[in-house]
Structure 1
Amino acid sequence: MTRPRRVVGVSTKMYFSAARTHDYVRDLIRELLGSGDILSGVDIFIMPDFITLTSVVVQVAGTRIMCGAQDTWHEDFGAFTGEVSPAVLAEVGCRMVEVGHAERRRIFGETDEITARKAAAVVRNGMIPLVCIGERTRGDVRIAVDECQVQVEAVMAAVPADAEVMLAYEPVWAIGAAQPADPKHVVNVVGQIRGLDCVRNRAGTLRILYGGSAGPGLFENLKHAVDGLFLGRFGHDPAQMHRTIEEVASA
């Protein structure tokens, strides 16, 4: 069975100023220019804040980098003060949208139902949903899979079976930690997620990334289970991001 293309992405969350976002994208593009054909089989994405998103779309035009958004609302238009329309994100050149991050769930009370509706809105507007899943507390593989299964099934029931979807497995307890989750734990959890009926029976491309303190040196131990990495703070240095991309490309 042919595995899908590998992928590496980074979210800047709310760490960057507008000037730093511009400099980061510029410096990353410069780093990648020297990598040659090694990156031809890897998809790369950056998810900046909403204010700088359109400028990043312009910066990455003509490169192999996709620009994504960190969130969206689940309706295209209407009286939703302060929210961001998925239709407008697509209109300005956004290619993918992150939904269901643990911080959105914890701080803003977003549920599996809201996450599923957002994922459906992303697909409806021709973009790729990057759906964050993960267990809240450290435990064994069965506990992790049981919690992730509920999250995955909600999303898969809401989006067409032929839609492209990415899942970011991010154990909540590993987000912001000094070290990522143990590779054996990740491999076992992701393997069982792939075996779920709602995943295994899909016609559309589905890729699973690992996030949660992901960074350089990790992918070699995960390459047989995941399709890539989703970075946070460890990807905020262009050189480290570049190094991680090359590791994923060559593993």
Structure 2
Amino acid sequence: MRRVVIAGNWKMHKTQAESLEFLQSFLPLLENTAEDREVILCAPFTDLSVMSKNLHGTRVRLGSQNVHWEESGAFTGEIAPSMLTEVGVTYAVVGHSERRQYFGETDETVNFRARAAQKAGLKPILCVGESKQQRDAGETEAVITQQLKADLVGIDLSGLVIAYEPIWAIGTGDTCDSKEANRVIGLIRSQLSSADVPIQYGGSVKTANIDEIMAQPEIDGALVGGASLDAEGFARIVNYQSA
């Protein structure tokens, strides 16, 4: 059975002090959150250890924004799976469009990262999505199908979350129409051998549109960027109103 997964991706925001201030405001707002909703905060590497200590015993899970495929070595600026699990991280974002666009990630390296994450006991949140140019050219289906084919080689679907993030809607204020997001997520699901993989929508998710997004039958959650930085706003997203 598919579960609901709501994850906040803080990107390069929040110091340790700011992350603790966020938790002090955020955690009390989850007292009445439905039990079937998995809540994840994907924080900068420097925040993870201090956040882990303050999340102990709560329902919030900790995620990293990336993970390397080797356990150690000459990989300046990277982080190994064991470094994450040691501080209580249970999820790792892989293949985010910003990593693909700005830091040269390919489907091959995304697959390496996802496989390494699973080997270490981390659950990858695998991001796929098309650019505006690709969408305008009618290539959405072909692009996403190819991404999935390459990214999922050797991946255990029982320990995976997929996030559909149309690149043209990330941080732009433009949101993919909820019915169109539902259609594409249905396409993603049709490419999987398991019907139980949670598939999120990501791309300018906010308090004003979360209810509509989550009313769609194929959408199992959200990967939230800027709107996850505000404790009250993100709590509203986590506590979306079911149809």
**What TM-score results when the alignment is normalised by the length of structure 1?**
0.90
Partner of 1:50: 45
Q: What is the CA-CA distance between 1:142 and the residue it aligns to?
A: 5.5
SS in 1 for 2:6: strand
How far apart, CA to CA, are the structure 2 residues paired with 1:84 and 1:179?
32
How far apart, CA to CA, are the structure 2 residues paired with 1:96 and 1:83?
16
Partner of 2:151: 155
SS in 1 for 2:139: helix
How far apart, CA to CA, are the structure 1 residues paired with 2:66 and 2:110?
10
Match of 1:14 among 6, 12, 33: 12
User: Structure 1 pair 140/164, CA: closer, same or farther in 2 (3 Å)?
Assistant: farther
How far apart, CA to CA, are the structure 2 residues paired with 1:78 and 1:112?
22
Amino acid of the residue matched to residue 202 of structure 1? S
Maintained 8 Å contact 1:10/1:47: yes
Partner of 1:202: 194
How far apart, CA to CA, are the structure 2 residues paired with 1:47 and 1:71?
9
Amino acid of the residue matched to residue 125 of structure 1? A
Amino acid of the residue matched to residue 119 of structure 2? R
State the Cα deviation string for residues 83-128 of structure 1 (Å, max 9, x = none).
Answer: 1001221122110000111111111111000000000000000110
Amino acid of the residue matched to residue 220 of structure 1? D
Q: What is the CA-CA distance between 1:220 and the residue it aligns to?
A: 3.3
User: Structure 1 pair 23/206, CA: closer, same or farther in 2 (3 Å)?
Assistant: same
Matches for 1:21-40 after TM superposition, within 5 Å: 21-33=19-31, 35=32, 38-40=33-35
Indicate whether 1:236 and 2:232 are aligned: no
Partner of 2:209: 218
List alignment gaps of at least 5 residues for structure 2.
none
Match of 1:166 among 161, 164, 167: 161
SS in 2 for 1:39: coil
The alignment yields a C-alpha RMSD, in angstroms, of 1.8
Q: What is the CA-CA distance between 1:42 and the residue it aligns to?
A: 0.4
Matches for 1:37-186 after TM superposition, within 5 Å: 38-137=33-132, 139=135, 143-161=139-157, 163-186=158-181
Identity %: 31
SS in 2 for 1:116: helix
Q: What is the CA-CA distance between 1:158 and the residue it aligns to?
A: 2.8
Amino acid of the residue matched to residue 48 of structure 2? L
User: More displaced, 134-143 or 121-130?
Assistant: 134-143
State the Cα deviation string for residues 180-223 of structure 1 (Å, max 9, x = none).
Answer: 11112211111111111xx1x138x4110000101224343333
User: Structure 1 pair 171/76, CA: closer, same or farther in 2 (3 Å)?
Assistant: same
Maintained 8 Å contact 2:168/2:174: no
List alignment gaps of at least 5 residues for structure 1.
none
How far apart, CA to CA, are the structure 1 residues paired with 2:211 and 2:76?
44
Q: Report how many residues are paired.
A: 240
Amino acid of the residue matched to residue 179 of structure 1? D
Partner of 2:240: 247
